[in-house]
Chain A
Amino acid sequence: MSKNIIVIGGGLAGLAATIKIAEAGFHVDLFSMVPVKRSHSVCAQGGINSAKDMKGEGDHPDLHTTDTLFGGEYLADQPLVQDMCYEGPKIIDLLDRMGVPFNRTPEGNLDFRRFGGTLFQRTAYAGATTGQQLMYALDEQVRRFEADGKVDKYEYWEFLSAIIDDDGICRGVTAMNLWDRTVQAFKGGAVCLATGGPGLIYGKSTNSVINTGAANSRVYQQGVNYANGEFIQVHPTSIPGADKLRLISESVRGEGGRVWVPKNPADKRHPTDIPDSERDYFLERKFPKYGNLVPRDVATREIFDICVNEERGVNGENQVYLDITPERSGQTAEALERKLGGVLEIYRKFQGADPLKEPMKIFPGVHYSMGGLWVSPVDDGGQIKQMTNIPGLFAAGEADFQYHGANRLGANSLLSCIFGGFLAAPRMCEWAASHSKEADQAIYDRELKRQNEINERVLGMTSGSENTFQIHKELGEWMTRYCTVVRRNEDLEKLAGKITEFEERWHKIDINDTAKPANQSFLWTRALWDMLQLAKAIVKGATLRNECRGAHYKPDFDLAMPEKDKMGIPTDTDVYREFVAALEAQNKTTYKPLPPKSGEEVAPEFIDYMTRWVEKEKTWNKSTLATYKEGDQPDISYLPTAMTVEPPKPRIYK
Chain B
Amino acid sequence: MASSNGNDSSAQQTVTLRIKRQKAPGEAPYWETFKVPYERGMNVISALMKIRLNPETAEGRKTTPVTWDAGCLEEVCGACSMRINGIPRQSCTALIDNLEQPIVLEPFSKFPVIRDLMVDRTPMFESLKRVKAWVPVDGTYHLGPAEKISPEMQQIRYKYSECMTCGCCLEACPQYNGKSAFIGASVIGQSYLFNAHPTGKNLKGDRLDVMMGVGGVVDCGNAQNCVRVCPKGIPLTDAIAAIGGQVTIHAIRKMLHF
Known contacts A38-B77, A42-B164, A136-B161, A241 near B46 by CB under 8 Å: yes
Known contacts A93-B144, A208-B72, A516 near B24 by CB under 8 Å: yes
A37 cross-chain contacts in B, Cβ below 8 A: 77-78, 125, 164-165
Known contacts A40-B72, A97-B137, A97-B199, A517 near B115 by CB under 8 Å: yes
- Residue-wise, chain A 75-103 has the 8 Å CB interface mask toward B (1 for contact) of 00000000000000010011011110111
B142, B150, B161: the one within 8 Å of A94 (CB): B142
Q: Would A93 and B77 count as touching, CB distance under 8 A?
A: no
The complex places the Cα of A346 from the Cα of B104 at a distance, in Å, of 24
| Beta-carbon contacts under 8 Å, B197-215 to A | 197, 199-200
A20 part of interface (Cβ distance < 8 Å): yes
Known contacts A43-B76, A132-B76, A108 near B133 by CB under 8 Å: no
| Residue count of chain A within 8 Å CB distance of chain B | 71
Q: Would B42 and A42 count as touching, CB distance under 8 A?
A: no
Name the distance in Å between B68's Cβ and chain A's nearest Cβ: 8
The complex places the Cα of A34 from the Cα of B164 at a distance, in Å, of 13
| Residue count of chain B within 8 Å CB distance of chain A | 72
Known contacts A513-B64, A515-B24, A518-B118, A143 near B75 by CB under 8 Å: no
Q: Would B64 and A98 count as touching, CB distance under 8 A?
A: no
| Beta-carbon contacts under 8 Å, A407-425 to B | 422
B71, B132, B161: the one within 8 Å of A34 (CB): B71
A244 part of interface (Cβ distance < 8 Å): yes
Name the distance in Å between B33's Cβ and chain A's nearest Cβ: 18
- Residue-wise, chain B 72-103 has the 8 Å CB interface mask toward A (1 for contact) of 11111111000000000000110100000000
- Residue-wise, chain A 20-33 has the 8 Å CB interface mask toward B (1 for contact) of 10010000000000
Name the distance in Å between A16's Cβ and chain B's nearest Cβ: 9
B73, B78, B142: the one within 8 Å of A90 (CB): B142
Q: Would B114 and A179 count as touching, CB distance under 8 A?
A: yes
B242 part of interface (Cβ distance < 8 Å): no
Q: Would B135 and A349 count as touching, CB distance under 8 A?
A: no
Q: Would B165 and A101 count as touching, CB distance under 8 A?
A: no
A141 part of interface (Cβ distance < 8 Å): yes
B174 cross-chain contacts in A, Cβ below 8 A: none
Q: Would B157 and A101 count as touching, CB distance under 8 A?
A: yes
B121 cross-chain contacts in A, Cβ below 8 A: 35
A108 cross-chain contacts in B, Cβ below 8 A: 148-151
A126 part of interface (Cβ distance < 8 Å): yes
Name the distance in Å between B185's Cβ and chain A's nearest Cβ: 17
A521 cross-chain contacts in B, Cβ below 8 A: 52, 64-65
A455 cross-chain contacts in B, Cβ below 8 A: none
The complex places the Cα of A57 from the Cα of B21 at a distance, in Å, of 59
Residue from A43, A244, A467 having most chain B Cβ neighbours under 10 A: A244
| Beta-carbon contacts under 8 Å, A504-543 to B | 512-513, 515-521
- Residue-wise, chain A 30-67 has the 8 Å CB interface mask toward B (1 for contact) of 00001101111011000000000000000000000000
A132 cross-chain contacts in B, Cβ below 8 A: 76, 162, 164
| Beta-carbon contacts under 8 Å, B1-39 to A | 5, 23-25, 39
Q: Would A127 and B158 count as touching, CB distance under 8 A?
A: yes
The complex places the Cα of A104 from the Cα of B158 at a distance, in Å, of 11
The complex places the Cα of A246 from the Cα of B75 at a distance, in Å, of 11
Known contacts A208-B72, A521-B65, A101 near B161 by CB under 8 Å: yes
The complex places the Cα of A137 from the Cα of B197 at a distance, in Å, of 12
The complex places the Cα of A349 from the Cα of B97 at a distance, in Å, of 12
A109 part of interface (Cβ distance < 8 Å): yes
Nearest opposing residue in chain B for A425, CB measure:
B140
Known contacts A512-B55, A515-B24, A140 near B74 by CB under 8 Å: no
Name the distance in Å between B23's Cβ and chain A's nearest Cβ: 6
Name the distance in Å between B140's Cβ and chain A's nearest Cβ: 6
The complex places the Cα of A90 from the Cα of B158 at a distance, in Å, of 22
- Residue-wise, chain B 52-68 has the 8 Å CB interface mask toward A (1 for contact) of 11110000001011010
A103 cross-chain contacts in B, Cβ below 8 A: 151, 154
Q: Would A42 and B72 count as touching, CB distance under 8 A?
A: yes
A256 part of interface (Cβ distance < 8 Å): no
Name the distance in Å between A219's Cβ and chain B's nearest Cβ: 23
Q: Would B53 and A470 count as touching, CB distance under 8 A?
A: yes
B41 part of interface (Cβ distance < 8 Å): yes
A342 cross-chain contacts in B, Cβ below 8 A: 76
- Residue-wise, chain B 145-185 has the 8 Å CB interface mask toward A (1 for contact) of 11011110011011001101100000000000000000000
Q: Would B129 and A515 count as touching, CB distance under 8 A?
A: no
Q: Would B139 and A23 count as touching, CB distance under 8 A?
A: yes
B154 cross-chain contacts in A, Cβ below 8 A: 101-104
Q: Would A338 and B155 count as touching, CB distance under 8 A?
A: yes
A43 cross-chain contacts in B, Cβ below 8 A: 72, 74, 76-77
Q: Would B79 and A107 count as touching, CB distance under 8 A?
A: no
A243 cross-chain contacts in B, Cβ below 8 A: 43, 45-46, 49, 73, 92
The complex places the Cα of A350 from the Cα of B194 at a distance, in Å, of 32
Q: Would A147 and B23 count as touching, CB distance under 8 A?
A: no
B73 cross-chain contacts in A, Cβ below 8 A: 208-209, 241, 243-244, 246
The complex places the Cα of A147 from the Cα of B130 at a distance, in Å, of 9
Q: Would A242 and B39 count as touching, CB distance under 8 A?
A: yes
B41, B78, B118, B161: the one within 8 Å of A38 (CB): B78
B93 cross-chain contacts in A, Cβ below 8 A: 349-350
- Residue-wise, chain B 107-143 has the 8 Å CB interface mask toward A (1 for contact) of 0000000111010110001001100111111011011
Nearest opposing residue in chain B for A470, CB measure:
B53
Q: Would A143 and B128 count as touching, CB distance under 8 A?
A: yes
A146 part of interface (Cβ distance < 8 Å): yes
The complex places the Cα of A379 from the Cα of B209 at a distance, in Å, of 49
Name the distance in Å between A94's Cβ and chain B's nearest Cβ: 6
The complex places the Cα of A37 from the Cα of B5 at a distance, in Å, of 34
Q: Would A517 and B25 count as touching, CB distance under 8 A?
A: yes
Q: Would B140 and A19 count as touching, CB distance under 8 A?
A: yes
The complex places the Cα of A520 from the Cα of B67 at a distance, in Å, of 6
B70 part of interface (Cβ distance < 8 Å): yes
B39 cross-chain contacts in A, Cβ below 8 A: 242
A515 cross-chain contacts in B, Cβ below 8 A: 23-24, 64, 115
Name the distance in Å between A11's Cβ and chain B's nearest Cβ: 11
Name the distance in Å between A362's Cβ and chain B's nearest Cβ: 14
Q: Would B78 and A467 count as touching, CB distance under 8 A?
A: no
| Beta-carbon contacts under 8 Å, A105-157 to B | 105-109, 126-127, 129, 132-133, 136-137, 140-141, 143-144, 146-147
- Can you list the 5 inter-chain pairs with the closest CB atoms, starting with the nearest? A108-B148, A140-B134, A242-B46, A96-B146, A99-B135
| Interface pairs (23), CB distance under 8 Å | A34-B77, A37-B78, A37-B164, A38-B71, A38-B77, A40-B72, A42-B72, A42-B77, A98-B137, A99-B197, A101-B158, A105-B151, A133-B158, A179-B114, A208-B77, A209-B73, A244-B73, A422-B140, A467-B52, A469-B49, A469-B65, A512-B62, A515-B64
- A-B contact sample (20 more), CB < 8 A, given A106-B151, A521-B52: A34-B71, A35-B121, A38-B77, A93-B143, A96-B145, A97-B135, A98-B135, A101-B161, A108-B150, A126-B158, A129-B76, A136-B161, A143-B125, A209-B71, A210-B71, A242-B41, A242-B46, A338-B155, A469-B49, A513-B64
User: Which chain B residues have a beta carbon within 8 Å of chain A's beta carbons?
Assistant: 5, 23-25, 39-43, 45-46, 49, 52-55, 62, 64-65, 67, 69-79, 92-93, 95, 114-116, 118, 120-121, 125, 128-129, 132-137, 139-140, 142-146, 148-151, 154-155, 157-158, 161-162, 164-165, 194, 197, 199-200
